[in-house]
Each structure stands twice: as structure tokens, then as C-alpha cells.
Amino acid sequence: MTDGSDRTRVKSVETALDVIEYIHRERSATIGEVADALGIGKSTAHRHLTTLHDRRYVTREDDRYRLSLRFLTFGGRTVYELPAREMIERKVEQLCDETGERAQFVIEEHGERVYAYTHAGPNAVRTDAAVGKRGPLHVSAAGKAILAHLPVERREALITEVSDDASLGARRVREELAAVRERGYAFNDEESTTGLRAVGVPVACPDGRVLGAISVSGPANRLTGAYFREEIPVLLLGAVNEIELNLKYR
Amino acid sequence: MTDGSDRTRVKSVETALDVIEYIHRERSATIGEVADALGIGKSTAHRHLTTLHDRRYVTREDDRYRLSLRFLTFGGRTVYELPAREMIERKVEQLCDETGERAQFVIEEHGERVYAYTHAGPNAVRTDAAVGKRGPLHVSAAGKAILAHLPVERREALITEVSDDASLGARRVREELAAVRERGYAFNDEESTTGLRAVGVPVACPDGRVLGAISVSGPANRLTGAYFREEIPVLLLGAVNEIELNLKYR
DNA sequence: TTTAGACGTCCCGCGATGCGGGACACTTAT
DNA sequence: ATAAGTGTCCCGCATCGCGGGACGTCTAAA
């Protein structure tokens, strides 16, 4: 290595991952674009893309490379094998039917929230909630529900991490999470997107670890008053209760 | 390289992909398992896994490594950005409502079919149709619908490829695909799974290229006679017609 | 308590191999 | 006709990926 030789990682693998991530960001790329963007030789980019293409991690149409659906294949199975997946999907859909809004099941990974399953009811607003989409935990109802139930060390680590830039103070976050734990559900009152509200409830494994969270989200003009503050939470708690039973006695 | 040095690929990247694919197959693995299975040194496996972990492509729980949801993130967006995705999802769900069975949208990639979106109606049988799941084109209704409308060279290449092991003769396949092209939809009459029937209709882009196919599948005892041979095809053709209009005038 | 066998981690020296530069053919747009 | 894209291929240098092995730790068995 040029300098601080890091013998614990494989540099050319990191380059390959850089290539993958660049294509992901840009949707598609040519060899030259990759080489320029990553500051590597064109021949190097060529070799990496050829490797990824031979192994079917990228597709090629004319001279543009894109990520293949192999990523979906890998990721899809991870989700498919979640405990109680089938029941969770059914409950998410049921919540959509009952509320007409959008519902989703969210998982925590690497300190982020990831949408594992989403469904839209008949009146659902358009959001960009897509399967696999990631975002910070502390600005979403489902994310807060999960965050509140993470083990203390992990929770604290994440809180201090986000409080730096968010600047709304670790204290306020801690207070809100304590409230979430107490009442059993979390709200998102236009914090991430103006006009969008949501309620989230954590789903716990029998061993107490949090598996993820279910949330229902909709426009602020429909989600108001007791419907938002009480009725939807009750619906969610009922659904989660069934899921947790399923997890226990499966 | 040991021998026929292949200067066009990056060997250590291939090793990393081997690691990923091994974990995918086994669901989870330790460093030692990876090293043994791939016939590489333990330290090499360690370095690769550390790299993949640092970059968040794998998660680690105790000493077991698993694929992370990052794959879902990448694959999810590829699907999310399909043209007319929203309309396609709506139509798939509508078909489930109308038939009570299972419906899915399937895409061709690298000569295989990939489930891009699936939905289950109230009576749907359990199948292992999961988002991202792959399989051969010629043994599924949606797959045949796609295969029939692929450009001649690609089609022929795939037919000869599968006819070797399937041994049912390239000729019969060609005949069936011609019939599919003529009537506009394909059947799967318990060819892949006994007791399971399906109807598939291709979805074409305005430029004539096939985008994918929608199919409805259900148990042979419910999908019979004119309902299977005529009514379901009509429902599918109607749905696809709307999708194709959406693709055209979007 | 000791022992054996897992696990991950770390270090090191050898040489295979990943690297960039550059030549080349090809297509497209200027 | 020229220029600027594209991908492909070759080559020589030295970087960096490799396996072997030492080490600490933990669990389970003896």
C-alpha cells in the first residue's frame, strides 16, 4: 500500500465494491465513467466490470453496465427467511385494508432502518418507501420504535452518533424513546416529510430482541386527533400481538 | 495464476464473490467454514470477510456471518425503477383479487426468469415464489411467454441450451413457443410442479422488446376447463393491455 | 482442572497478480 | 475528415493478495 498499509482488507475487492456502489448511485455507467469517477485506470475498470459481468452481478446493454437482479435474489431470500414473514406480510396488508393507508415492515441493520416489506392501501399517498430502501432510525415511526427497544449500548451509540448533526440534543431523543417504550408505540409527526404522519410499533422476538417494526403512514390531513393518536395505535398493537404469538408458538 | 493466466478478470474479486455465494447457499458461515469450503487459507477468508463486513455486505452475529440487506437495497431499486412499476403492481394485485389466486410479475435476466413482484390472493396456494427467486424460463408460464418473444438469436441460444438436458427436443419447444406467440399467452400445466397450473402473458415495451410477463398460478383442481384456458387469459390480457398503454403514453 | 478443538486475529515473507499506460479497432457525432 | 466516445488487449513493474503459522479466547469434553 502507498502508506498505512492495511493488511486486514482486500484492496481489489474494495475497488470492486466501489464499482458496484458507483453503478448503484448512477443507475448505469460505462467503463470510462467508472474509471474517471473512481480514479482508476480504464483497464482496471474494464477488468473489474468484466469480472462482475461474467459472474452476473452486472448486466450490459450496449456499452452501459447496470446492477443485475442477482442482488435482488440474495436480498430477497434474506427477507423471505425472516421468522413469521408470511404472517407479517398478511398483517401489513390487513392494516392497509383497515386504514386505506400505507403500511410497512421495517428492520434495523447497521444502525439504519430498511424496508423489508411495504404495501399500499386504496388511499395510500405516494411515498418513496420501497423494499430495500434505507434511512436513519430516529426520523421515522418504525425506526423510533426499533431504536427504543435496542440494547442500551447500541442505542446510546446510535443516539450520540445522530445527535451531532441533528443538533436537537441527545437528551430530547432519549426522552422521546423513553416515552415510546412506555406507551409501546412511536409517532412520526411530519418530522421526515412535511404532511406525512406515521405510527410505528416494535415487533419483538420471544427472546426479547427486537425483530423490526410495523408502521402505518398517511397524510396529516387524514391522520388526525384520536384516530391518529389512539385508533391506529390500537390496530397496530393488535396486529403485532398476533405476530408475536406466531413467533412464539410457531 | 496457476496456469492459464486469465488477465481479464480480477481473481481476488472472484474469491470475494465465491464467499458471498457460499454464504448465500449456506445462509450463514464462519471463517473456518468458508476457508474449508472454498479451499483457501483461513487468513484469506478472514481478510475477505472483514472487507465485506466493513463495507456492510455481510453482518456478523457472534461468529456467524450472513449476507446483509444491502443486497436488497441494490436489488430493490432496480425493481423500483422498472417502467410502469406502479401500474404493474396494481394490476398484479387486481388479478389476485379477481381470481383469488397468486399472481406475479417476472423478468428475464441472463436467460433466467426472476420474480420481480409477487402477490397472493385470498385462496392462493403456498408456492415458493419469492421476490428475487430465479428459475429457468422454459418451465413456467411467464417464462415461456417471455421466451417466445425474445429476439430470435437469444431465443435460439436458450432453446439449444436447455434442450440438451431436458431432452424433450428443441423442436417441441419451438412449436410451443410459436403457439404462444400466436395466441398471445402461455400455459404451464403442472410442468414444473405437479398440481400447479399457470397462465402467463408477456408485457412488451413500446419498442417491441419484452419487458417481462405477468402470470396467475393456482391449483389444478381450481384452474380447469374454460376458466383456465379462456377466462384467466382474458383477465391477463386486459391487465397487460393497460400496462402497455401506460408504458406508451406515460 | 486440564485438554482439545472450535472460533477470530495478527504477522510475515514470497511471488503471483493486480495495476496503469498505452496501442488498437470500432462507432458516432461534429 | 476529425475528434471523442466506446470496449479490448498487451506488457512490465512492484504492489498486494496469499498461505502458513503463532496467538488469545471460549466452550465442551475428559
Name the β-bridge partners of B187: B199
Do A48 and A126 sit in the same domain of this protein? no
Which 3 state secondary structure label does DSSP give B140?
Answer: coil
Mark yes or no for CB contact B72/A69 under 8 Å: no
Please indicate whether, in this complex, the C-beta atoms of A76 and B131 are within 8 angstroms of each other. Answer: yes
Whether A1 maps to a domain, the answer reads: no
Q: What pLDDT score was predicted for residue B4?
A: 44
Lowest mean pLDDT among A151-160, A198-207, A224-233: A151-160
Q: Does any domain span residue B138?
A: yes
Single residue among B68, B95, B113 that ends a domain in this structure: B68
pLDDT of A5 reads 55
My answer on whether A16 and A108 are in the same domain is no
Predicted confidence band of residue B3 (pLDDT cuts 50, 70, 90): very low
Give the distance, in angstroms, between residue B56 CA and nucleotide D21 C1'.
29
Of A17, A76, A109, which has the smallest distance from its Cβ to B75's Cβ? A76
Kindly report, residue by residue over B22-41, the tens digit of the pLDDT.
999 999 999 999 999 999 98
pLDDT at A186 over 80: yes
**Taking residues B184-197, what's their average pLDDT?**
94
Domain shared by B100 and B190, yes or no:
yes
CA distance B20 to A16: 13
Q: Identify whether residues B93 and B211 lie together within a single domain.
A: yes
User: Using the 8-state DSSP alphabet, how is residue B222 labeled?
Assistant: T
pLDDT at B21 > cutoff 80: yes
Same domain, yes or no: A49 and A90: no
Of the candidates B131, B121, B142, which has an alpha carbon nearest to the alpha carbon of residue B192? Answer: B142
Buried b (16+ CB within 10 A) or exposed e, B58-73: bbeeeebbbbbbbbbb
Is residue A28's pLDDT more than 80? yes
Domain of residue A140 covers 77-248
pLDDT at B172: 86
C-alpha cell at B172: 417441441
A133 with A233, same domain: the answer is yes
Report, in ranges, which bases of strand C sit under 7 Å from a protein C-beta: 6-13, 16-23
Q: How does DSSP classify residue A227?
A: I
Same domain, B50 and B105: no
Domain-located, residue A4: no
**Distance (Å, rounded) from C-alpha A1 to C-alpha A180?**
48
Q: Taking a C-beta distance cutoff of 8 angstroms, is the pair B106, A113 a contact?
A: no
What number of other Cβ atoms are within 10 A of residue B24's Cβ?
18
Residues A64 and A113 in one domain: no
Is the pLDDT at A164 greater than 70? The verdict is no
Calculate helix-pair angle for B42-54, B11-26, nearest 10 degrees.
80
- Domain with B130 in it: what CATH number? 3.30.450.40
Q: Distance between alpha carbon B236 and the CA centroid of its chain, in Å?
A: 19
- Yes or no: say if B70 and A74 are a contact pair by the CB < 8 Å rule: no
Let me know how long chain A is. 250
- One domain, residues B94 and B173: yes
The answer to whether A181 touches A149, Cβ cutoff 8 Å, is: yes
Report pLDDT for A116: 97
Return the biggest CA–CA distance within chain A.
63
Residue type, B193: T
Closest CA to B215 of B175, B195, B193, B188: B188
Where do we find the cell 390531513?
A221
What does the pLDDT read at residue A88?
97
Q: Contact B78/A66 with Cβ under 8 angstroms?
A: yes
User: Considering the domain boundaries, does residue B31 fall inside one?
Assistant: yes
Instruction: Report pLDDT for A160.
Output: 86
What is the mean predicted confidence (pLDDT) over A85-109? 96
Nearest to A132 among B66, B77, B130 (CB): B77
Q: What is the pLDDT of residue A196?
A: 95
In a domain, B1, yes or no: no
Which residues from 55-74 of B have any strand C atom under 7 Å from their CB?
A: 63, 65
End-to-end CA distance of chain A: 52
| pLDDT tens per residue, range A207-217 | 889 999 999 99
Residues 6+ apart with CB under 8 A from B56: A110, B68, B70
pLDDT in tens, B61-70: 989 999 999 9
* Within a domain: B5: no
What are the tens digits of pLDDT across the range B38-85?
Answer: 999 899 999 999 999 999 999 999 899 999 999 999 999 999 999 999
Per-residue pLDDT at A168: 62
Yes or no: say if B140 and B215 are a contact pair by the CB < 8 Å rule. Answer: yes
More confident residue, A165 or B64: B64
Look at residue B5 in the predicted model and tell me its pLDDT.
Answer: 55
List, chain by chain, residues whose CB lies under 7 Å from nucleic acid strand D: A 1-2, 5, 7, 9-12, 30-33, 42-43, 46, 49-50, 63, 65; B 7-8, 11-12, 15, 40-44, 47-48
Can you spell out the DSSP letters for B169-221? Answer: -HHHHHHHHHHHHHHS-EEEESSSSTTEEEEEEEEE-TTS-EEEEEEEEEETT
What would the pLDDT profile of A36-45 be if each residue is shown by its tens digit?
999 998 999 9
